[in-house]
Amino acid sequence: MTKKIQSALISVYYKDGLDKIVKLLHENNVEIYSTGGTQSFIEELGIPVIRVEDLTSYPSIFGGRVKTLHPKVFGGILYRRDNADDVETAAKFEIPSIDLVIVDLYPFEETVASGASEDDIIEKIDIGGISLIRGAAKNFNDVLIVSSRNQYDEVFNILSEKGCATDLEDRKRYAKEGFGMSSHYDSAIHAYFAGIDDGGNFRSQKQTPLRYGENPHQSAAFYGDLEAMFEQIHGKELSYNNLMDVDACVKLIEEFEALTYVIVKHNNACGVASAETSKQAYLNALACDPVSAFGGVIITNAKVDLATAEELHQLFFEILIAPEFDEDALAILKKKKDRRLLIRKSVKTSKKQFRTLLNGVLEQDKDLSTETANDFTTVTNIAPTEEQVKSLEFALKICKHLKSNNVVLAKNGQMLACGVGQTSRVDALKQAIDKAKEFGFDLNGGVMASEAFFPFPDCVEIAKNAGIAAVVQPGGSIRDQLSIDYCNENGVAMVTTGVRHFLH
């Protein structure tokens, strides 16, 4: 099923990297059809090209809305070379065989994201391009479809190695990617008209196979463009579990403007700290739970400098994510060959979350609510001090991103301990207190944050006895007054937010 390319149709919006393919086709005597800007681009390379208008005997009309929509174009793509009737019809109507289609689509999503007018957005809905992709992909037995500039390098290598020929496996794989491109594009258009976030259309996005899922017996893949979000500058490929922890890291670090380090293990933070310097923030985060930090994933919102890198290098960790690295810091961190180092880029992500379960899918808005002092309502006789308010804000940012039931203990820009994923909030608090004591923290004057209300006063009583001086929680229990009364009787400040942050 190897087929030599005799003719090609090329019509693209993005021309970067196209020149080497065009030159290769010309060197192999491939006849090239094109139109508009792509035709001019090819002609500027000094390579002969046949105008689509000359093939169809129709000019580009309606402001370029109709250029390739013609039987001589689509017939040349779709007719079956092994079907005698198709071959006869093609000959009768002088329809040329088109064996390669290189086409991309108008930048619809980019135009929407730019805030352009509706007229401009509508004009970026591609009609001819999407039809060419679908037609060529449907006839993969005979035609190779190249539907993205991201494929140019690989296509060039394939054609170079095979003498401008393709085999069925190549054509079928690129057909799959073409239909994926078509699906994603149409879904983006639908989302625009429906006024919705299209984050759930994951299968139309780029697929990256993973070695396995959560466990070696589970197959897995990532759908999306990781390269748009991160530049991996060192280490082996990311695994399924790595990506889960990276996601948890990114969500949590986005809560902080101050210089902060976060350490995550199994999707939960085991260390969080903000400080004046990168080194101190990292050391304070590590001190939270140096045992759990072993093999964890670390993220910061600051440049990693040499002093911090020297401390980081002493810990075995899986991944370090930062906006940038000093060169001398990289020289230290790259000494471990498997250690993954990622530069995080600024990229817009979906505001929706999706989860498969039972025989369907759950959809919800992401929890983007972050409560600050302006949202606090003091419900006790004494109010938290200014420093306690800062600590309460800090702790609340963290507990929002921990598995329920959870509590966070904090003081002076440092998480002292947390209890996570417990069926009882009392157990979560006891876990946190035990952790804090294990690693030598003094809880006196510290604060406690809870992602959900206290149905009984037992948690505030246990916290008070451990030294906690102020508490933040959403409130909303019919027994709220019991916890408030205990705090009033024992000199503990409590504020409520009215916003619950369950995470399961």
Residue type for position 409: L
For 68, half-sphere exposure in the C-beta direction (CA atoms, 13 angstrom radius) is 29
Residue 266 designated active-site = yes
Helix (H), strand (E) at residue 460: helix 458-466
How far is CA 158 from each of CA 1, 24, 34, 153, 171, rounded to the nearest angstrom? 15, 11, 22, 9, 11
- 305 within 8 A of 326, measured Cβ to Cβ: yes
Would the CA dihedral through 364, 368, 371, 377 be positive or negative?
negative
Among candidate residues 266, 303, 403, 437, the one labeled active-site is 266
CB-based contacts of 143, cutoff 8 Å, min separation 6: 77, 98, 99, 100, 101, 136, 171
Residue type for position 470: A
What is the C-alpha to C-alpha distance for residues 391 and 419, in angstroms, rounded to an integer? 17
- 217 within 8 A of 272, measured Cβ to Cβ: no
Among candidate residues 26, 138, 334, 430, the one labeled active-site is 138
**Residues paired with 209 in a beta bridge:** 221
Helix (H/G/I), strand (E/B), else coil: 427: helix
The count of residues in the chain is 504
What is the C-alpha to C-alpha distance for residues 190 and 195, in angstroms, rounded to an integer? 8
Residue whose C-alpha is closest to residue 34's, from 51, 22, 21, 47: 51
Would the CA dihedral through 290, 292, 295, 301 be positive or negative?
negative
- 303 within 8 A of 326, measured Cβ to Cβ: yes
Residue whose C-alpha is closest to residue 261's, from 244, 241, 247, 277: 277
How far is CA 131 from each of CA 85, 348, 352, rounded to the nearest angstrom? 23, 29, 30
- 73 within 8 A of 56, measured Cβ to Cβ: yes
What is the C-alpha to C-alpha distance for residues 55 and 257, in angstroms, rounded to an integer? 59
Residue 303 designated active-site = no
- 259 within 8 A of 281, measured Cβ to Cβ: yes
- 413 within 8 A of 394, measured Cβ to Cβ: yes
Cα angle value 10/11/13 (rounded, 5°):
135
Q: What are the residue numbers of the active site?
A: 138, 266
